[in-house]
Chains A and B, each alone.
Chain A
Amino acid sequence: MTDKWPILSTLTFLPLFGALLILQIKGNSKKARYDIRNIAFLTTFFVFILSLIILADFNVELAGFQMEDKIDWFGNGISYHMGIDGISVLFVVLCAFLMPFCILASWETIKEQLKEYMIAFLILETMIIGVFCALNAFLFYVFFEGSLIPIFIIIGVWGGKGRVYASLKFFLYTLLGSLLMLIAIMAMYWQARTLDIPALLNHTFPPHMQTWLFLAFLASFAVKIPMWPVHTWLPDAHVEAPTAGSVILAGVLLKLGGYGLLRFSLPMFPLASAEFTPLIFVFSSVAILYASFVAFVQTDIKKLIAYSSIAHMGYVTMGIFSANMQGVEGAVFQMLSHGIISGALFLCVGVIYDRMHTREIVAFGGLVNNMPKYASVFLVCTIANIGLPGTSGFLGEFLTLIGVFRVKSWVAVIATTGVILSATYALYLCRRVIFGALDKEKLQDILDLSLREKFILYPMVVLIVFFGIYPSPILDVVRCTVEALVRNYHEIVLI
């Protein structure tokens, strides 16, 4: 790949191109549905390949932005500026990795309006990759907020019973946070007279302004992450979304918040970040404990996983604001591994939901007898979710805990209890769903994983274990960027 070819823009808008192709297909015949699925899958697959090429091309020794495309756009600070650094490149790959699986997971389950469904997913992919690549605050906002439209439609049209409530709640929550961020972006323009992120990173905002800007950005990112106490949209949205929607929501959309904190809050408003660190720590600890307790009493499998997501994102925010190597690296690692683990877990739930059309825990039990392959996949994912050594979940949590321990040891102590709690609820779930006797009548002839499901779940399990044993491919990519970020932070904030 040459330097001149705008590879990031190609990557970003390739799904949109696929969506246009699908738009051309008329009718609802078997042939049309076949074409639609194939085009969607091939597009996402090509995007994944392209993202791997970008990753291979990425120079891990550099801390700055690479592969930049820049065109002047609206003037007044608004330009079309794309580029990636060590943090964002991995999220791009994560998104590109999960998307083909989402398409596969909806292969047979989506019966109505398949065309619109696939178009929505492809547009969503463009928006998400765009967020991670955008190097202009305006462009970032356009992608960040634009991603709401397709996911709103996905939850609302193809979701479960309470989809209307869930989709509206999700949309309005996120919109409120984002609009505050929009005002902050405007204020940043009038202060710095630019919206280019590299230029903003070099700009020093006056302290009192940092406080307000930080709070406005936090309002947006905290909703997205979601941080306690603005997390209540997540369980609803997760439960009602179709399987693929949950995967992309937990796998990538939640990471937009954490990514935003790393891209804007920490490096641009270091003084305010330092000032609010105790608050973030308190929120994170509460999130970890509270969400774990709530997860324990859930009767719906998806809701349980949703609450466990909230708990795990607590480690991420904690790690980011510990503002040292281990903490931030751990947070990035935790986000990526949680993207894969929670995606895999939601896909697992999707497997049994497709068979039984219920997600109630009490409806299951003893699945191991009829579905040994499924049971082992589910067990590995659960163990990774708990964070047992040997899985990628362990490393993320461990690194963030070290990072936090160096800054505020009591926070680490509280957060570590969260690991025990997560073991309690996750293993309890496993016992009730997988193990025990297969005495429910409806479950007697339940079938094990089909070829398509194996194809979806096995690669994820392999990755979970692989990164648990050998994490350096990820850590090597982020190291330089995180080092620079932490160093710049500590030049301004002295501890």
Chain B
Amino acid sequence: MQTDLATQLTLVFPELLVAFGAVVLLLTGTFSRTNSYAAIAWLAVTILVIATVLLIVFPQSGVVFGNALIIDSFSRFMKILTLISAFIVLVMSVGFSRSEKFDKFEFPVLILLATLGMMLMISVGNMLSLYLALELQSLALYVLAAIDRTNLRSAEAGVKYFVLGAFSSGVLLYGISLLYGYTGHIDFAGISKAFSIQELQLGMIFGIIFIFVGLAFKISAVPFHMWTPDVYEGAPTPVTAFFASASKVASIALIVRVIMSVFNSEISAKIAILQTPAVWQQIIIFLALSSMLLGAFAGIGQYNIKRLMAYSSITHMGYILVGLAEGTSIGVQSVIIYVIIYVAMTLGCFAFILAMNNREGYVENIYDLSGLAKSNPFMATIMTLHLFSLASIPPLAGFFGKWYTFSAAVGGNFVPLAVVGMLASVISAFYYLRMIKIMWFDELRGNFLTTPIELQLILALSGIFVLFYIFFGIWITSWAEIAARSLI
């Protein structure tokens, strides 16, 4: 089913818009004499908003460039989520980049380029476009991590992320080449078909494992998480917010698509009779278990709020993988719901971290929050809601995420996985509660400066999301169901 070029181009119009915008903004920034940071940042925001609106208003589906990209409702949904989080990150960063003196025009341009990579990642249809999209995203992210280049920690984060990221990309590429060698296919449909026909050979198993290593690195699943705390801590806070939100959405979407369109055929063919988990399921279960437990235990020792968020995100990636382990549309639906809730909570938390700003500059130690409930009850209440939500206490949004993923796991007879996940969430509840304790129970230590209006707005919005999910969650559930169906 090949369509003509014009139709294909309209299908990827949002991506083209972002790509074109990135190039134009780059040129404008280079040739303008004054510091054009503010103008370019707002233009980038505009481009992201237009792309989001296009995706919302014109739902399309189809296959582009000979199976290289697949446009369906899953990709549409995840792209909207990525674009929105990229847009919020840009808005959040305005005040920060000015006071921290890295108001370079490259920042919004790189965000646009990374977002483009993410949009492509969400849509990939064969292994080559997968690798290209992933690298486009990663290269932009490497630079973003080091964008505050005079800052030692930022530079260190960039280098660390680059070295480890390049290594994992290499492993991923090796896995792709092994699968190509054994199946003779590069596109997902072909490989999937080969899986359902051929006997599973050792080389193919290695191929699967290598691919998952590469992907697990991107979502920072244990044991490929080593970079996460350092990069989260070292990178400028808006960049960290971008890593924790948009980048995670795209990587999760990529993993979901790869599993659902490539590896899932292995289940139906042989595994159903043998009643053992498929190879990819064993990998996912291992990643989920180790991420949940390590994130929960290692977070206890963290007093830097950005490192804490790193371990918290590792744990949450574990919960997401729990939902994915079953590999059915219910599982995918739960993953989508969880990702939305996770992104909302993460962006809210990072808006809060960006507001932790006293006379000596930005602070990151959790004990700097002491007694916040007395000096700034609005921020303390919103953050408390976020923390309870991260600890998945009902009736807040985080609880619903966990309900869906764990319920999918229980329904797929992965009860032990769910039980371990619950234990991990009790352990991780400790460090969320500790922050609440610091804000509410401890003595007042010092005031923060006034929070900029845009951060207040983001905090209020994510607070509303977390608190009132119980009322509008039904819509998200049904959207996620539509998105999940399109993958089957």
Chain A residues with CB under 8 A of B473: 74
Q: Is the CB of A187 within 8 A of B410?
A: yes
Shortest distance from the beta carbon of B373 to any chain A beta carbon, whole Å: 8
Complex Cα spacing A145 to B25, Å: 50
For this complex, into which size category does the number of interface residues on chain A fall? Answer: 20 to 34
Q: Is the CB of B422 within 8 A of A182?
A: yes
Q: Is the CB of B477 within 8 A of A186?
A: no
| Per-position binary interface string of chain B over residues 115-133, scored 1 when its CB falls under 8 Å from any chain A CB and 0 otherwise | 0000000000000000000
Complex Cα spacing A294 to B422, Å: 33
Complex Cα spacing A163 to B423, Å: 24
Please pick, from A74, A172, A186, A187, the residue contacting B426 in the complex, using a CB distance under 8 A.
Answer: A172
Chain A residues with CB under 8 A of B470: 142
A residues 142-189 touching B (CB-CB < 8 Å): 142-143, 145-146, 148-149, 152-153, 156-157, 163-164, 167-168, 171-172, 175-176, 179-180, 182-183, 186-187, 189
Chain A residues with CB under 8 A of B482: none
Whether A73 sits at the interface, judged by CB under 8 Å, is: yes
Shortest distance from the beta carbon of B376 to any chain A beta carbon, whole Å: 13
Q: Is the CB of B437 within 8 A of A164?
A: yes
A residues 184-206 touching B (CB-CB < 8 Å): 186-187, 189-190
Q: Is the CB of B407 within 8 A of A149?
A: no
**Known contacts A183-B406, A189-B407: A175-B441 contact under CB 8 Å:** no
Whether B433 sits at the interface, judged by CB under 8 Å, is: yes
Chain A residues with CB under 8 A of B415: 183, 187
A residues 231-256 touching B (CB-CB < 8 Å): none
Complex Cα spacing A179 to B415, Å: 13
| Per-position binary interface string of chain B over residues 432-451, scored 1 when its CB falls under 8 Å from any chain A CB and 0 otherwise | 01101100110000000000
Chain A residues with CB under 8 A of B399: 142, 145
Complex Cα spacing A164 to B433, Å: 10
Shortest distance from the beta carbon of A173 to any chain B beta carbon, whole Å: 9
Complex Cα spacing A171 to B385, Å: 16
| Per-position binary interface string of chain B over residues 409-423, scored 1 when its CB falls under 8 Å from any chain A CB and 0 otherwise | 011000100110011
For this complex, into which size category does the number of interface residues on chain B fall? Answer: 20 to 34
Q: Is the CB of A182 within 8 A of B429?
A: no
Q: Is the CB of B430 within 8 A of A183?
A: no
Which applies to chain B's interface (DSSP): helix, strand, loop or mixed?
A: helix
Complex Cα spacing A138 to B394, Å: 10
Complex Cα spacing A385 to B319, Å: 47
Whether B361 sits at the interface, judged by CB under 8 Å, is: no
Q: Is the CB of A180 within 8 A of B394?
A: no
Q: Is the CB of B433 within 8 A of A186?
A: no
Q: Is the CB of A175 within 8 A of B426?
A: yes
Chain A residues with CB under 8 A of B393: 145-146, 148-149, 175
Please pick, from A163, A176, A180, the residue contacting B441 in the complex, using a CB distance under 8 A.
Answer: A163
| Per-position binary interface string of chain B over residues 237-253, scored 1 when its CB falls under 8 Å from any chain A CB and 0 otherwise | 00000000000000000
Q: Is the CB of B395 within 8 A of A164?
A: no
Chain A residues with CB under 8 A of B407: 186, 189-190
Q: What are 18 pairs between A and B in contact, CB < 8 Å?
A: A116-B377, A138-B403, A142-B395, A142-B470, A145-B394, A156-B436, A157-B373, A167-B441, A171-B429, A172-B429, A175-B393, A175-B426, A176-B422, A179-B423, A182-B403, A183-B418, A186-B418, A189-B407
Q: Nearest 8 A-B pairs (CB), nearest first?
A: A179-B422, A142-B394, A186-B410, A186-B407, A190-B411, A176-B426, A156-B441, A145-B394
B interface, CB within 8 angstroms of A: 373-374, 377, 388, 391, 393-395, 399, 403, 406-407, 410-411, 415, 418-419, 422-423, 425-426, 429-430, 433-434, 436-437, 440-441, 470, 473-474, 477
For the A-B complex with A163-B441, A183-B422 known, give 17 more contacts whose Cβ atoms are closer than 8 Å.
A74-B473, A138-B403, A141-B394, A145-B399, A146-B393, A149-B393, A153-B440, A157-B441, A164-B441, A167-B437, A175-B425, A179-B422, A179-B425, A180-B419, A182-B403, A182-B406, A190-B411
